[in-house]
Amino acid sequence: MKTFPNTRLRELARATGLIQREGGKLKADALFWSLAIGFLSGNYRTLEEFRQEYIETFGGSLEYSSFHDWFMPALCDFLREVLKRALEDLEHDNDRLQGRFEQFREVFIADATVITLYQSLFETFPGYGDDHAGAKLHVVEAVSSGLPAEFTITDARTHEFTQLSTGPWVENALLLFDQAYFDYRTMDLIDANGGWFLTRLKPNANPDITAELRKWRGDAISLEGKQVQDILDDLHRDVIDVDGEVRFKRRIYNGTRSRAVETFRVVGVWNDEEERYQLYITNLSAEDYSAPDIAKLYQARWEAELLFRELKTTYGLDEINSGKPEVVEALILIGLLSLVVSRTLRELFIEIIEAQQDGSDDVEASSLLPRERWARAFGRHSDRILRRVAERLGYEPPKLVESLMNDALDPNTHRISLLDEVRYEPFAADLA
């Protein structure tokens, strides 16, 4: 509740137009918490389940149509601003960036995942093929917190590298990204802003070797003057470590482009299982990180895959069952907010464990609460957590009889039951 203070929720609800006046049925704090935590309680995560969770926790009466009408652009603006402010406020514990990470201010991982949508949303969210729709969530994850530092939501066809912006925020930070973000201009900008990058070399990228960074004994073949991809078949070394010259077009302010030449480090590590070199390109120095260190650093990129798996398995972003674009965007934002609430509470429990440790325990408190295991536990107890929050905010849950009545009443009263159809529809003879 300190991460999402009530005053801020109310302020942002008014600023985004979600709430026009005080005293109405919609309460910004009740809506926010019922979505951010109640999202985890339902098995199917439908809007009707959200409505039931809202009523069950915060009381009052609320028609389905009224609740559904809240899922509009103003709600998306509200959720986005709440999420943005929370991510800005949360301090990353850089003390956890130890070992190979200790020289960096932060380590960021850029990645994206596709969320399956109804085919009816194809025009707004076209998928990879013409037969399905999909949204793509682009995330830059901060390793120290495991939370998104940046995020965007696009259709599935939007290419990843268009969503990775650079600037002063990369200074003294390491960016890990896969081949979907491979772009020499991006690498050049990261380097120019005082940051570091590490990614896999694309198969069609063929830098010119200008220098070898590792000396070999004996009568070793010189690689200088050759191209990286051309030496792979005839080389018999455990590692490749060279300077590679690359050419690209650099954007300048008046809209034109100039030809640029830069030199980056290219590293290859032999993979016995695949019987080929794993190739990387980076601006990390050979003095600080050997070739095997580079390969080990890149393995940290898998953390982004774990983040997406958590978002999909625990926070409902594997598939979104709605035909409204506003609902799709809102549910993605709610999934991210649920993640932030869960991780914030996890940090509190880590502090409790650290306070209980006497200093002789060499096991880090954070390792005792693995992120995915914590997420599952948080989901299982989310209904109790939500009720504790509502109690702290001064809301009283409805009585049992009222809860049963709210839960059982059919929101689709216009539908005719089968028995009523059989009993009351005119006979065929009467129709004649």
CA–CA separation, 146 and 108 (whole Å): 9
Render pLDDT for 219-235 as a digit per residue (tens, 0 to 9).
667 889 999 999 998 88
pLDDT value of position 91: 63
Of 36-45, 115-124, 141-150, 355-364, where does mean pLDDT reach its minimum?
36-45
Pairing of β 173-177 and β 106-117: parallel
**CA triplet 383, 385, 391: central angle to 5 degrees?**
105
Structure tokens at 160: 């990843």
Among candidates 182, 425, 141, 195, which has minimal Cα distance to 303? 141
Quickly count: other Cβ atoms within 10 Å of residue 332's Cβ: 22
- Do the beta carbons of residue 176 and residue 108 sit within 8 Å? yes
Residue where the block lists tokens 């694309």? 202
Render pLDDT for 66-103 as a digit per residue (tens, 0 to 9).
777 788 899 999 999 999 999 988 765 556 688 889 89
Among candidates 35, 102, 101, which has minimal Cα distance to 70? 35
pLDDT value of position 217: 64
pLDDT value of position 22: 60
Supply the pTM of this predicted model.
0.86
Burial track 202-239 (b if 16+ CB lie within 10 A, e otherwise): eeebebbbeeebeeeeeeeeebeeeebbebeeeeebeb
Render pLDDT for 244-282 as a digit per residue (tens, 0 to 9).
999 998 876 666 778 899 999 999 999 999 899 999 999
Radius of gyration of the chain, Cα coordinates, nearest whole angstrom: 27
Residue 432 has pLDDT above 60, yes or no: no
Residue 237: which residues within 8 A CB-CB, separation 6 or more? Answer: 216, 270
pLDDT band at 358 (very low <50, low <70, confident <90, very high): confident
Among candidates 215, 238, 233, which has minimal Cα distance to 224? 215
Residue 320: which residues within 8 A CB-CB, separation 6 or more? Answer: 115, 116, 117, 118, 135, 327, 328, 331, 332
pLDDT value of position 99: 83
pLDDT value of position 364: 81
pLDDT band at 315 (very low <50, low <70, confident <90, very high): confident
Residue 3: which residues within 8 A CB-CB, separation 6 or more? Answer: 86, 89, 90, 340, 341, 344
Render pLDDT for 131-185 as a digit per residue (tens, 0 to 9).
889 999 999 999 988 899 999 999 999 999 999 999 999 999 999 999 999 999 9
Mean pLDDT of 212-217: 79
Residue 44 has pLDDT above 70, yes or no: no
Mean pLDDT of the chain: 87
CA–CA separation, 185 and 119 (whole Å): 36
CA–CA separation, 372 and 24 (whole Å): 38
Among candidates 52, 249, 231, which has minimal Cα distance to 44? 52
Structure tokens at 353: 């464990």
Quickly count: other Cβ atoms within 10 Å of residue 26's Cβ: 18
Structure tokens at 134: 């999909």
Supply φ then ψ for residue 23, to 5 degrees: 90, -5
